[in-house]
Amino acid sequence: MRMVIGLPKEIKNHENRVGLTPANVLMLTQAGHSVRVQSSAGEGSGFSDEEYVASGATIVADGASAWDAQMVVKVKEPQPSEYGYFKEGMLLYTYLHLAAEPALTKALMEKGVSAVAYETVQLSDRSLPLLAPMSEVAGRRAVNVASTFLEKHHGGKGILLSGVPGTARAHVVIVGAGVAGLSAARMAYGLGARVTILDVNLTRLRYIDDTYHDIQTLYSNEYNLAEVVKSADVLISTILIPGTKAPKIVKEYMVASMSKGSIVIDVAIDQGGSVESIDRITSHDNPVYEKHGVLHYSVANMPGATPRTSTFALTNATSAYLLALANHGVLACKENPALLLGLNTHKGKLTYKAVADALGMTYTEISSLF
């Protein structure tokens, strides 16, 4: 089949990533598909319109023209101003995080969009191949953010992560030893901070202990977490459950016990967040606010600050599934168990159970719709 694929420019605050690189466009056009790229869609990631044209794309003037396609490829969830572009039978391939987006969920269902969410594509070993690259970026960026906002002129306590000889290192506490957590731990460890990481997966903790002898590992329970948070200069929470809202693992009283000028970073805020004291999503324009004397960072598109790295990392992972969807449409999901788990809405139904449970909506088993 020949698919018309649209690439709109991202319109979320400071979102400079793009869903397709010129290399992806070349792959699609060589397979016989047609790609419409909104003018300047790739500019934030360093890709010119001319590069897309050279790869076989057609440049269109506005978002409406890019959305006028059989399949639309994005990075972030559609914004309310884009809901009007939805149409029956459209295939949407992007991050969605629907458990935190009831209005978007309803709009996708009402218009009959087949929406494949990057974050719920899942392999048989339970890994999330399309979420992993952005988790790697977000975990590393969390430590860079912490280093910046610990500086006094940013409202922090005025300490250096690594310290210097004769002074104490900053204590970085990381909740969750998954992809984002381990990425944060590696970054903080490499910068010379004192690092503690908590998880309930003892196999994962053994791996970290064997690999990074100076990183303290702790079994994650409320008692251990409350105790270690008291001495944290930086608290990074990375807890995420595929498809559903993140549980509030870090309680407000724990954050209140931290010393003034410390910082809390919630990497999973786009999935509802796992820190109880975080009550809002922030943006790259105004990324932190103070509560209990502690800085809170809750930007929902952390990787958007490093768009070129993030775009390459993301599209490296998404391209194989992209080609399957372009070649076979939504039926590609039926043939691929991992991709089938990515299908969140189809034919007006909500087809991912964790999202349905989180939103209190009706779940429909996807096999009944093919």
Kindly report each contact of residues 359-367 with a partner whose C-beta sits within 8 Å and lies 24 or more positions away, as own/partner.
359/98, 359/99, 359/102, 359/105, 361/105, 366/333, 366/340
The one catalytic residue in 33, 270, 296, 346 is: 270
- Residues shown for the chain: 370
Q: Closest by alpha carbon to 118, among 77, 90, 71?
A: 77
Catalytic residue among 97, 171, 296, 346: 97
Q: Does the annotation count 97 as an active-site position?
A: yes
B/e letters for 287-311, b = 16+ CB within 10 Å, e = fewer, are: bbeeebebbbbbbbbbbbbbbbbbb
Q: Which two tokens stand for residue 135?
A: 């988790």
Q: Which residue has the tokens 């400071």?
A: 14
Residues in Cβ contact with 305 at an 8 Å cutoff, skipping those fewer than 6 apart: 14, 141, 284, 299
The DSSP code sequence of 30-41 is HTT-EEEEETTT
Do 195 and 223 contact (CB within 8 A), yes or no?
A: no
CB 154 within 8 A of CB 148: yes
| Alpha helices, DSSP H, located in the chain | 22-30, 49-54, 63-67, 102-111, 132-149, 179-190, 202-211, 222-229, 252-256, 307-328, 331-335, 337-340, 353-359
Cβ–Cβ under 8 Å, residues 257 and 230: yes
Bridge-partner residues for 199, per DSSP? 219
Please identify every residue annotated as catalytic. Answer: 97, 270
